[in-house]
Chain A
C-alpha cells in the first residue's frame, strides 16, 4: 500500500494536504520536554470514546472495522484516512515532534519502519507469544529492534509482478499470452529490449508508467541501496549509480516522463499512456481506479508471472502503537485481530493487497483466486510465486525513506530535461544536507 492514490480519492488527498499545510502555518515551534522513554499511563476506554486509527491510501479496512465495532461495543474503532503517505508522514513527524496529537494506532509505510526502529522509545513493544512467527521473515525483521522489540504489525506485502496492456501488446505485434510475455522479460536487459521493440511499433505509447517506478523496482533488488549495515550513508556505490544510469538512460525512449502519482501519471492509464507497470499486489486497485472499472472499450489488462531480475518487494505497510496512546492494550488487541490471516485474506479478495502472514499465504482460497479485471489472471498463484522469488531484501537504514525521496526527485529532474550528470550532483548535495 504505497502512495495508493486514485481518481475518486483525489479530493481527499488535496484536502489532507491542505490540512497539513494549514497545520504548519499555524504551528508554533513548541518543544516537547516529555521524556520519550516514559510510557503513558494506561486508561480504560470511557463511554463515547473511540480507539483511533489513521491510515493512508486504501487499506481496505472500512468493512472490517464495521465488523469489529459490531462485535466490540466497548472498543469502538474510528478510522481517519489520509490519501497520500508522504502527506501523512509529514503530519506524523509534526505530531511526534509536538509530543501529542497521534491516534492510538498509526499506519506506517514499510520504508519508514527503519526510522521507528532507530528511535524505539516512542513506540509500544508489540511482541507477544500470540503473534510470534506470524509474518514473512523479512517483514517481521524490518520491524524488530536489536533488543527484539517488535514495533509494528505488517499489514501486507508487495511482491512484484508485471502488469501489462494485452491490447497494446497486440497492436505492437508482441505476444499477448501471459506465459509467453513472462518468458520475454526475465532480465532487465530483456525487459528494456522488448520495450524498444514496442515503442518502435507504437511510438505514441511509452513502455512503462514512470521512470520513478522502474527505479523503485530496481532498487528493491539492491542489497545496500543508500546505507551500509552500520547505517552510514553511502550513495556513491556502483549499484545505485547503475540503477540511476540505466533508468535515466532509457528516459528519452521508454518512459512517460510523468511523475508517479501525479495528474499526468493517473491520466496515462486512460489515454494509452504506457504498456507495462511494475505491479505489486496493491497496485491492481490503482490500475482499476485510474483506468476505470469496467475498463474502457478495447482496454485489456493482464498480469505476467515474472519480475525482471528475480523477485522484488515494493511496499507493504505496518500498524504501530505510539506510547502517547492511553489505550495501548486495546490498540494491540485490535491490530492483532485486523492483521490476522483471516482479515488479510478478506482484504486480498476485495482489494488485492497481498497478505504478509505466512498462514494466509498457504491458504487454498488465496491460491485459487483469479482477478476478472486482469483477464482472469490467477492473481493468487502469481503473487505467491512472486513472493517466493524474493531473494534480496534491501537494507533500509533510518534515512532510507528520506533519501529515497531525494532519489525520486533526481529521476524526475532527468524526466523533465535536466542533464543526468547535473541531476546526480544535486542528489548528492541533497543527501549531504540530510545529515
Chain B
C-alpha cells in the first residue's frame, strides 16, 4: 500500500494540531506523523553529524586548492623532464629527477646547511624566548611597552632586516669586522666560512623570531594559575625553582607547539640566505656555503629552469619534514607520558 506523504516543507500541515494522530497508535510507524517525526529526527541526526564538517570545510576546501593541489601537481611534475626553452613539460622520465637530486652533491650540501642553520637558530631561539617571556611575566614597570618592543623585530620586514645585517656582516667594510679590526683581531669572513655564514644567518632568524615566540610563551605563562606560585612560595621555593618546577611543566603544550612550528619554519628557511648572498647569482654563496634546501629548489626551478628536478627536490624536502615532524611528535609523546606516570 502507499501512503501519500506530505511534502517535507509543508510545515502548516505537519504541525497542525487538528491533524494530530491518536496517541495510542504507538505501533503505527507507517502513520504520516511518525514518518514525519522520523524524518525530522533523521534530519537532525544528519545535522549533528554533518554540520560540523560543513563548518570546518572552508579550511579544507581552501587547503585542497592552495595546498593539496600544488603538492600533488608538484609530485606529478617531478616525474617529467622540462623543456627549458619553451617552459613546457617534456617527456615522462620516471624517477630520474629523484635520482638526480639524491646524487647531487649540491643538494646534500644544502641539506647539511639547512640543518646547521636550523639548529643554530631554533635551539637558542626557544631557550631565549622562554627566558624573555619569564622576564616579561614579572611585575615590570611599563609592562606593555616591553611586551610591544620584543615584537618589534618581527614587524620589521625581512628585507629591511637583511639590509641592517648586511652592513653588520659585510666581509671587508662591515661593522663587526671594523670593530674586530679596532681591537686587533682578524676579520671574520662571513660570506666565505661555511659555519660563520650559518651563524650570521641564524642571527638574523633569531633576531626576528625570538620576540614573537616569547609572546606566545608569555601568553601560556599568564594562563598558569597564580595559586600554584603562592603554594610554591609557601613551600619555600625561590623564583628560579618556581620557574623550573611550576612554569616549565605548565607551558609544555605551548612548548611543543612552538618547537614544531619553528622546526617546520626552520627547515624552510629561504629569504635570509638568499638576501644575505651578495654575489649576482644568489645561489647561497659561490660554493653554496649557505644554500638551504628551499634555495636549492628555487635555483633548480627558477634560475636553472628544471621544474622536474625542483619538484623532485621539493617532494624530498616535504618527506624529510614529515619525517621530522613525526619524530618530534613521537619524542614529545614519549616524554609527556613519562612525566605523567
A residues with CB within 8 A of B? 3, 10-11, 14-15, 17-18, 20-22, 24-25, 28-32, 36, 84, 86-87, 89-90, 93-94, 96-97, 99, 115, 118-119, 121-122, 258-264, 267-268, 271, 398, 402, 405-406, 408-410, 412-413, 415-418, 423, 426, 429, 433-434
Residues on B facing A (Cβ under 8 Å) = 66, 69-70, 73-74, 77, 85-89, 104-106, 157-159, 162-163, 166-167, 170-174, 189, 191-192, 270-271, 274-275, 278-283, 286-287, 294, 298, 301-305, 307, 311
Tell me the complex Cα distance, A415–B192, Å.
Answer: 10
> Given A264-B173, A267-B170, A409-B279, A93–B302 Cβ distance below 8 Å?
yes
Are A29 and B311 closer than 8 Å at their CB atoms? yes
| Chain B residue, CB-CB nearest to A94 | B302
| Distance in Å: Cβ of A151 to nearest Cβ of chain B | 13
Q: Specify the main secondary structure of chain A where it touches its partner.
A: helix
Contact assessment for B286 and A14 in the assembled complex, using a CB-CB cutoff below 8 Å? no
Using Cβ atoms and an 8 Å threshold, which residues of chain A touch B87? 32, 36, 93, 96-97, 99, 119, 122
Contacts of B158 in A (CB 8 A): 18
Tell me the smallest distance from the CB of A129 to a CB of chain B, in Å: 30
Q: B271 and A18: CB pair below 8 A?
A: yes
Chain A's nearest CB lies how many Å from the CB of B177? Answer: 10
Q: How far is the CB of A333 from chain B (nearest CB, A)?
A: 28
Given contacts A18-B159, A24-B302, A84-B280, A264 and B172 within 8 Å (CB-CB)? yes
Instruction: From B77, B86, B171, B294, give the contact of A264 (CB < 8 A).
Output: B171
A18 x B279 contact (CB < 8 A): no
Q: Ordered nearest first, which 4 A-B pairs have the shortest CB separation?
A: A262-B278, A412-B286, A28-B70, A119-B85
Chain B contacts of A29 at CB under 8 A? 70, 73-74, 77, 307, 311
A263 touching B271, Cβ below 8 Å: no
A28 touches B167 (CB 8 A): no
Nearest A residue to B72 by beta-carbon distance?
A: A29
B302 touches A258 (CB 8 A): no
Contact status of A31 and B287, CB under 8 A, knowing A14-B159, A93-B305, A263-B166: no
**CA A433 to CA B300, docked complex, whole Å:** 10
Known: A36-B86, A417-B192. 20 other contacts (CB 8 A): A11-B159, A11-B163, A15-B159, A18-B275, A22-B271, A28-B73, A29-B73, A29-B77, A31-B88, A36-B87, A84-B280, A122-B87, A262-B279, A267-B172, A406-B281, A408-B280, A409-B281, A426-B287, A433-B304, A434-B304
State the CA gap A415–B287 with chains docked (Å): 11
Central interface residue in A28, A94, A268, by most chain B CB within 10 Å: A28
B287 and A416 within 8 A (CB): yes
CA A299 to CA B302, docked complex, whole Å: 42
Our pick among A24, A99, A260, A409 for the contact of B283 (Cβ within 8 Å) is A409
Cα–Cα distance between A429 and B85 once the two chains are bound (Å): 21
